[in-house]
Chains A and B, each alone.
Chain A
Amino acid sequence: MLTRELAIATYDRGRLIPDRLTRKSHAQYIDLSQSMLDIYRIGIGKSRRSLHTAVRQLFQGITECPPRRILAFCKLLDDVSQYSDGDRGKTAKLRQAVFRAAAKHHPLVAISDSLFDSEESKVKKQIAEMHAMDWPELNDRLFADLIENHRLKSFRGFDRADALLARYNVAQAQVALFDAVQMTIVARQDFKTILRFAKLARLMHKITKTTNHYVFEFDGPASLLQNTHRYGLGMAKFLPGLLSCRGWTMEATIRGSRFQHTLKLELDDRCGLTSETVPANEFDSKVEESFCLRWGEFPRNGWRLERETEILHQGQTAFFPDFVFVHAEGHRVLMEVVGFWTPEYLSHKSKVLQQFKDQQILLAVSQPLKDKIGHDLNQPKIYYKTVIQIEPVLQALAAIRSQP
């Protein structure tokens, strides 16, 4: 990620717009990007300072490029690089040895006289010889452990030139979020994935449901008590995950020390930012997947099948029953598949089902688990062996619907 100093943004009527490089507006950056990658690819063994200088020189004559953008590229390239630390311990020992040896000759004078005869050049030559080098070489090694003198060991890089640009665009949006005090997402899809990424970023959520979408408000424990951007970093970490989801709009409230007013950062799933994060969108198990396939796209007996489109939540626990059956006449029934047998899975699932026992959830329980879970719950249940059959589910749905 970038650091705050590298953020570039423009402001327009209360909106913050992070710096963005596109094929259309910044065509020449594709070539520049390729050249930057080349500098690093053939730069193994070179010092950080010389790599950065080479990148800077690429941009000479490019008039519209702010210096900060160049530094940002260097940072992003360094992020996918490995540098040697210049033998920290060895270098420190070398320094100590050199300074100790020189102490006997202090002060090193430019021109010796009768009182002070330790001439700088002579003493340096002498000390260098003790280490079997010449002075320029020793001088070079003396501070090899400084960050700018670290040498490139390996470069993971980016597949293509435009991948670096894509990363840059996301990184500018992320760094803008460092100053975010709150983030609101309106989601029409991928609820579970969005909340899962938010949880990974240690954000707290507030969930509200409207007719056809959910509203998630993200911040952290102390946000309630003080205006703080301490969770902005979490929101920045969350962004690549969000970008991999579908059907959302996001609005973040930004309050930085650099500007007096509150600003808004707005993004949505079609904003063109892309990330390499792949959402784990698979089914929990083969059982769910095969049931979903066999049910098909179309309604059966008036019931349409939706996957994980309903969120049950209480406090900071959110629970996504595997399926939602929606009847043409408006009835909604939740179904949860209970199929794993590990003790951790069972105890977690029991706890969640207990917490939401007031909600009517149809439980599809694997036959061998019949006595292990759910018997203390008053929920309608069906049992399955290897696959969940359609027919028993339809019967259970009909029974639920016929209830007053």
Chain B
Amino acid sequence: MSETLNLKKCLSKVLNQAYLDFSGGTLVLDQWSPKAIQRVFGESFWTWDERAEKWRTLASNYGPIRKILDANSFGTLDRVAQLQNVVWPKIGLPNLRLEQIDAVSHWTQSKLGVVVMPTGTGKTEVALRIMADQCCSTLIVAPIRDLMYQWHRRILQGLGYDAGIIGDSVYNVKPVSVTTYDSASIHMPTFGNRFQLIIFDECHHLPGPFRGDAARMSIAPMRLGLTATLERSDGQHLQLEQLIGPVVSRLEINQVAGGSLADYEVFRIPVKLNDRERVRYDMLAEQVSGYVYERRQKEPDFRWQDLCAESLNSQESSVILRAFKEKQSIEDCAEEKLRVLEDLFRLHLGTPMIIFAGSNVMARKVSSRFLIPCLLNHCGKAERIDYLDGLRDGIYPAVVANQVLDEGVDLPAVKIAVVIGGMASTRQAKQRLGRILRRRGKERAVLYEVVAKDTKDTERSRKRRKNDAYERTRHRHL
């Protein structure tokens, strides 16, 4: 007791004018003596910054620091948070399904954590419900600007609020705003003290020395992470616990397939390279493998990554890398794929279709061959909305896209998707499948994979099928 009194006395002497401030993504505290810091906060949190002659810590520590200061009124003036109350003009959210209600209530217990739900099971609705409940200044961070705009639209529809936008050359900060990971990590030092709740959509994108600053430089005491695919092959997802919080709710894809998700079938269609492509392909393949073989004779540890690294400085490696890329592009853009696509269009006339290409070049090739819209990064917001709504309303028979649609972008109910090229990564395959699995009656969705025969394309397709999303699918050869 006497010690507490002592401490208060010693603090009050020092603390006649102590301030806690937000400074460039960090918190600074002045006037406190090392002894007082040690007694009140212990070893954690504060580091003495001789440059500013203040104590400094990451903004993300604001929650616990506030709690400590609240428990003992030390008279430090807190000028950190610049928060505004939020009143939702009009809440019109759909009723949640059982698993969504579970997710909301699990998160609400601690208000810090990650919700893992497969694509297409209504993560956005969970987040909007949480926003509606919390009624506070909120920042939503999305991987790409399409998704950012989509959040903007969903908030307007569901909560009647015209959110601010930070990204895509727009900088308009409002109490409720949407942004991208890149913009968030750049600008968090300026507005990290203006949001109480921060939502990381597709939060497996967050970890990293720079991107993680989007979490570390924010004071938000409430944090929600949303993802379908938490695990990263580099293990960096383990950082999420520190950046956001633990996993508070997890729903596996096979828990919902057949329920919320439609069943689906996968058809694999191998196509042959034409003679011209084949000759060129084999020549390039030989050139590449010959080079790698020779290098391995001399350096057994030689890896493909070494070649990529060297290629920027060495002309020989750059020639090999260019050969490799051309080889890839032959697989990707094989003429025959366009012919197969024509057949699929004939087969499914009247049913909206989405085509996933492996590159921008191929996406544009498909677009100008069939004159169907192509969704690429250069499309403006209005154009994109026109294409997606047009697909839903039957104005456009099909759209073609590359990575733009990989993640989370809400699509109209599409039952037919065609993958004509792409990467082998498990996550990408999951995301792509998620696109066509939206629940709509009892119809069965179909995914076509068009792969170039006897090339790396076939190998990549095999890899893709290994992941759990494919396990429940029936594979057929046409």
Binding site for B on A (CB under 8 A): 8, 63-68, 88-89, 92, 95-96, 98-103, 106-110, 115-116, 120, 123-124, 127, 139, 142-143, 145-147, 204-206, 220-222, 224-230, 257-258, 314-316
Contact = CB atoms under 8 A, between A and B. Distances in A.
Nearest to A127: B371
A64 B49 CA distance: 48
Given A96-B386, A102-B372, A66 B312 contact: yes
Nearest to A258: B309
B53 interface: yes
Interface residues of B, number: 52
Nearest to B217: A222
Interface string B1-30: 000000000000000000000011110000
A226 B372 CA distance: 49
B215 to A, nearest CB: 12
Contacts of A143: 364, 378
Nearest to A68: B312
A63 B315 contact: yes
Contacts of B26: 221-222, 225
Given A66-B312, A67-B311, A99-B371, A222 B379 contact: no
A92 B51 CA distance: 52
28 contacts: A8-B312, A66-B313, A68-B312, A95-B373, A96-B373, A96-B386, A99-B372, A99-B373, A102-B371, A106-B345, A106-B370, A107-B342, A107-B345, A109-B342, A110-B339, A115-B346, A120-B369, A204-B51, A204-B52, A220-B24, A221-B189, A222-B24, A222-B213, A224-B51, A225-B56, A228-B209, A228-B210, A229-B210
B316 to A, nearest CB: 10
A26 B370 CA distance: 50
Nearest to B382: A92
Given A67-B318, A139-B368, A226-B58, 19 more contacts: A8-B312, A64-B315, A89-B380, A95-B373, A103-B395, A106-B370, A106-B372, A106-B398, A120-B369, A206-B50, A206-B51, A221-B24, A221-B26, A221-B189, A222-B24, A222-B58, A225-B57, A314-B53, A316-B52
A88 B378 CA distance: 9
Interface in B422-468: none
Contacts of A123: 371
B349 interface: yes
A124 B371 contact: yes
A255 to B, nearest CB: 9
B312 A110 contact: no
A26 to B, nearest CB: 15
B105 interface: no
A89 B382 CA distance: 10
Given A88-B380, A123-B371, A103 B47 contact: no
B216 to A, nearest CB: 7
Contacts of B364: 143
A58 to B, nearest CB: 15
A142 B380 contact: no
A120 B349 CA distance: 16
A257 B51 CA distance: 28
B396 interface: yes
Contacts of B396: 99-100, 103
B56 A66 contact: no
Contacts of B368: 139, 142
B383 interface: yes
Contacts, number: 125
B246 interface: no
A225 B56 CA distance: 8
Contacts of B49: 224
A363 to B, nearest CB: 26
B314 interface: yes
A345 B320 CA distance: 64
Give 5 nearest A-B pairs by CB, closest first: A102-B371, A107-B345, A221-B24, A106-B397, A68-B312
Contact of B371 (A98, A109, A230): A98
Nearest to A233: B186
B56 A96 contact: no
A66 B318 contact: yes
A88 B382 CA distance: 12
A108 B370 contact: yes
A28 B154 CA distance: 58
A145 B378 contact: yes
A314 B23 CA distance: 17
Contacts of A67: 311-312, 315, 318
Contacts of A109: 342, 346
B28 to A, nearest CB: 8
B51 A205 contact: yes
B58 A225 contact: yes
A147 B360 CA distance: 13
Contacts of B58: 222, 225-226
A67 B316 CA distance: 11
Contacts of B54: 315
A228 B383 contact: no
Contacts of A228: 209-210, 213
